[in-house]
Structure 1
Amino acid sequence: MTVIPVIDLMQGQVVRGVGGHRSAYRPIVSRLCAGSEPVAVARALCAHCAASQLYVADLDALQGQAWQTDALRALLSALPDVELWLDGGFAEAADVLRLRAALGPSAERVVPVFGSESLASVEALTECFGSASPGEAILSLDRRGARRLDPAGCWDAVAQWPRRVIVMTLERVGSAAGPDLEVLSSLQAQAPLTQFIGAGGIRDQADLDRAREAGATAWLVASALHDGRLSRLPG
């Protein structure tokens, strides 16, 4: 089981995600580092997890504002051996190409995450994960409770899913409610060759063990790391 640390960026700071209610997010308070400056927080998380991947949610972009390109450039420069999995509210493949052009050469280490809440259409879904897609992109199947956040119909387009799919349970983000393994298992039954990555709800090592036994290949984690509920992880 791979733990992929997460930072949520809002107005140039790392904030604490709680339940997906982004208007209520506040600057992170962490046992791993002081302050909420993105590079400091990212370095502390990656060192704690011996991580070679960092998930970044650009909450400004997800709420219809401009990408936080300065913060993203700083992260890429400070973490030369880390791959950034970036959810930047991408509505179509062309959005990723525009962002990569703005970020410069280091953008080759940006892996785009296309969230079902952001993709504009079925046509955009096909383009993002077709032969002309911008690199080996990741799909995030987003939901809050029983409601799928999915205007493009991603959840039902199993044939269009890429090799890696994130199962994003927004109401469990920062909630310490435990991982939702039932949905993960149902998706695995539909696409047994897909690598599923969970998000939300991890409280401790026991939860990670349960997630691994349920078939998750990795899990996105933030709060349990910042709160000290997951000890330093081996490389």
Structure 2
Amino acid sequence: MAGFELIPVIDLMGGMVVHARAGERDAYRPLAHSVLTTSPEPAAVIRGLLDLHPFRTLYIADLDAIRKQGDHKALIRELKVLFPDLRFWVDAGFAGECTCRRFLAAGLGDLVLGSESQSDLRLLEILRDEPGLVLSLDFMGDRPLGVPALFDTPELWPERVIVMTLARVGVGAGPDLERLRAVRARAPGKRIYAAGGVRGTEDLANLRALGCEGVLLASALHDGRLGRAELASAQGGTTECQS
């Protein structure tokens, strides 16, 4: 595997970046403690991230849209104007074909289809060949979120698949290597991205050795555990995929 993609995450709620923790969204609060910025305003957070490292991709979770309590469509458009060279991966609780088609046509970024927002396989079957599609397999503890059949049909999965372990987000529990290994074994031809639990360089090394294509990061960036040197080291070089 050439390279290893580091993808910072911003979670949007009420127009601000919030600190995600263990998937307990009702308890999320605006980002208050970060070595990168003193503001939870999205543009300020993104500037802080880009000052830290030349990230190429940004994952945006529109939590208002995912919870069906509004959305950040206008804000995401504004951010794309401010940061035109940054590729966005956007999870906005996509659950309808027309909404997905409009998003893809707008050129705002890649569409993250979260399993937690799906009630059947229809959208995945329709969109599976879209080059801008990313599938997120969402888990809360040992429980898969969304229609069970989605997790059992790897032949329908697009090229890029996120394994999202929500209970490990923001709590320093470490990535779920066992689950990532199981997903890779079921879909060896897919590009797998880890999300949730990364604490530092050792976790990044373990994910690379496992054969992951990349990782989503948040807490370890804001608390300084992953700084410039650690990120530069983690992204360079090559490693072999292992099952």
Q: State the alpha-carbon separation in 2 of the partners of residues 73 and 176 from structure 1.
A: 32
**What corresponds to 1:59 in structure 2?**
63
Q: Does 1:25 find its partner at 2:28?
A: yes
What does residue 126 of structure 2 align with? Answer: 127
Q: Specify every segment of 5 or more residues in structure 1 that has no aligned partner in the other structure, as ranges.
A: 102-106
- Alpha-carbon deviation of 1:151? 1.9
Q: Deviating runs (4+, > 3 A) in structure 1?
A: 98-101
Measure how far apart 1:14 and its partner are: 0.1
Greater Cα offset, 120-129 or 54-63: 120-129
Question: Could you report, residue by residue, the CA deviation over 1:5-63 in whole angstroms, capped at 9, with x for unpaired residues?
Answer: 00000010000000011000011121101110001101211332311100000000000
CA displacement 1:42-94 (0-9 Å, x = unmatched): 12113323111000000000001232122112210111100100000001332
1:145 to 141, 147, 163: 141
Residue 207 of structure 2, aligned match among 208, 211, 215: 211
Question: 1:157: how far off?
Answer: 1.1
SS in 2 for 1:153: helix
Query: 1:44 corresponds to which residue?
Result: 48
Q: CA deviation at 1:207?
A: 0.8
**Residue 79 (structure 1) aligns with:** 83
Q: Is the 8 A contact 1:168 1:199 kept in 2?
A: yes
User: Residues 147-186 of structure 1 correspond to what in structure 2 (within 5 A)?
Assistant: 147-151=143-147, 153-186=149-182
Which digits, 9 at most, give the CA deviation of each residue in 1:158-205, with x for residues without a partner?
110111000000000001000111111111111111000000000011
Amino-acid identity (%): 44
Shift of 1:152: 5.9
State the partner residue of 1:111. 110
Secondary structure of residue in 1 paired with 2:117: coil
- In 2, Cα distance between equivalents of 1:211 and 1:137: 22
Name 1:193's counterpart in structure 2. 189
AA of the residue aligned to 1:24: A
Q: TM-score, normalising length from structure 2?
A: 0.89
1:92 and 1:119 in contact (8 A); partners too: no
Find the counterpart in structure 1 of residue 16 from structure 2: 13
Task: Please say if 1:228 is aligned against 2:224.
Answer: yes
Q: Which residue of 2 aligns with 1:94?
A: 98
Distance 2:197 2:135 in 1: 19
Kept in 2: contact 1:185–1:214 (CA 8 A): yes
CA distance in 2, matches of 1:49, 1:157: 36
User: SS of the residue aligned with 2:116?
Assistant: coil
Question: Could you tell me how far apart the structure 1 residues matched to 2:196 and 2:150 are?
Answer: 20
Residues 76-128 of structure 1 deviation map (CA, whole Å, 9 limit, x = unaligned) = 01111001000000013321223456xxxxx4141000000012311222012
Q: Which residue of 1 aligns with 2:74?
A: 70
Alpha-carbon separation, structure 2, partners of 1:124 and 1:6: 24
Letter aligned with residue 28 of structure 1: L
Change (3 A) 1:40 1:11: same
Measure the CA separation in 1 of the matches of 2:226 and 2:182: 27
Contact 2:104 2:110 in 1 (8 A): no
